[in-house]
Amino acid sequence: MRFLFRPPAVDATGLLSLPWDQPLEEWDPALLLEVPQRGISRHVVRFVANNGHVFALKEINERLARHEYALLGEFEEEGLPTVSALGICVDRPHDQEAILVTRYLEYSMSYRWLFSSPRGEHSAEKLLDTLVELLVRLHLAGVFWGDCSLSNTLFRPDAGALTAYLVDAETVERHPTLSPGQRAYDVDLARERMGAELLDLRFGELLPDDIDPIHIADSLPRRYEALWEEVTHEQVFGVEEQQYRMAERLQRLNDLGFDVGEVELITSPLGARLRVRTRVAEPGQHRRELFRLTGLEVQERQARRLLNDIRTFRASLEQKSGGPVSESFAAHRWLSEVYQPVVDAIPPDLAGRLAPAEVFHEVLEHRWFLSEQAHRDVGTAEAAEAYFATVLPQTPKEVTTPSVAAGLVAEE
């Protein structure tokens, strides 16, 4: 047998003792983690925990395993939202297929999980728009997916919204750029698959009655075209309105969750033509800023939310002290006096259901909600307590995270 993996390989060493010579389907269940509510899948896929990390193992033919491993590596380097590949195991005895190992995407949820969640605030439309955004991002990078579907996408809560990640790259083709025909074909495949998946949910009685699977799926091409047009269209305007038009466009792209890589402005006495090259990577400006100030690693929208809270906290410090307070001083105090106490107060049996930054975001939302109801400012501690008692328990625990995985392994 042969193992191929990319450094850092620390993650991989503990995995070597697994029974790679046996068919994945026959592995001792004691070695595996139960991850329910997954999407529709063709191959045998199993999950294992090691050193507090969770990995997904997929049995697949060697050519495809190598293809997927190479592509996922490329995507990760470019900052595209995909799962991260650890390695492959090939040359298994008795001509068995290869096994592709990917890192379990922490705090991710499948569409089936989202629809079966009792909180149910994730509407089909929101899910669809998140998927469309992922597809546009991939197309901008010259990625033809060939199998875009809800099953092949993972969703992560991000400050109340969702971010989508590609999980299955088996059918992906990489091109320098995609033609309109290739894009349209990919979108049409997505429409078909999504329609079938939503129908399947309907038969499983997981879909709310007011959702028409076909109608929703049929709206995908329109939504896709609208977003594609927004992020790629060339704009023409008069010289005198140049500055404000450009600022407006860049702001709009940011609002849609895209970063601008390069701006090309061609001017002539008649006017200006603006061409923007949209960056495919997830925007990361707020993430980086929050990391610099606090060392916290979170998602982009979460970072924006936390930075706003730091700003408010800083203003209140300045008001109290009657003088200026530096940003980094405020951030340190916020971390120890505001953020950390909330995270530390998460009851142990509810830990691991959502990322800590998402819990904090939801506590802030809950504080706002309670304050509205009470017509007074409800404090963060009080809001957190109420949130832990009433809201967080409604988030099912199926979401596998390292802490949950560590717990499961310890129990066995």
Binding site for ligand ADP (CB under 6 A): 38-39, 41-43, 45, 56, 58, 83, 102-105, 108, 110, 151-152, 154, 167-168, 170
Residue 97 C-beta: closest distance to ligand ADP, Å: 12
Can residue 68 be called a binding residue for Mg ion (CB under 5 A)?
Answer: no
Contact region with Mg ion (CB under 5 A), list: 55-63, 162-170, 334-342, 370-378? 162-170
Residue 264 C-beta: closest distance to Mg ion, Å: 38
| Residue 165 binds: one of ligand ADP, Mg ion, none (C-beta under 5 to 8 A by kind) | none
CB nearer ligand ADP, residue 155 or residue 387: 155
The only residue of 168, 282, 362, 398 in contact with Mg ion, by rule CB under 5 A: 168
Which residues face 155 on adjacent strands?
109, 164
Residue 151 C-beta: closest distance to Mg ion, Å: 5
Residue 117 C-beta: closest distance to ligand ADP, Å: 15
CB nearer Mg ion, residue 152 or residue 294: 152
Q: Which residue is nearest to Mg ion (CB)?
A: 168
x/- string (CB under 5 A) for Mg ion, residues 37-66? ----x-------------------------
Residue 57 C-beta: closest distance to Mg ion, Å: 14
Residue 75 C-beta: closest distance to Mg ion, Å: 16
CB nearer Mg ion, residue 149 or residue 163: 149
CB nearer ligand ADP, residue 45 or residue 140: 45
Can residue 133 be called a binding residue for Mg ion (CB under 5 A)?
Answer: no
Can residue 153 be called a binding residue for Mg ion (CB under 5 A)?
Answer: no
The only residue of 50, 96, 152, 302 in contact with Mg ion, by rule CB under 5 A: 152
Task: Kindly list the distances between the CA atom of residue 129 and the CA atoms of 22, 108, 114, 225, 328, in Å, as whole numbers in the listed order.
Answer: 41, 17, 15, 12, 36
Residues that bind Mg ion (CB under 5 A): 41, 152, 168
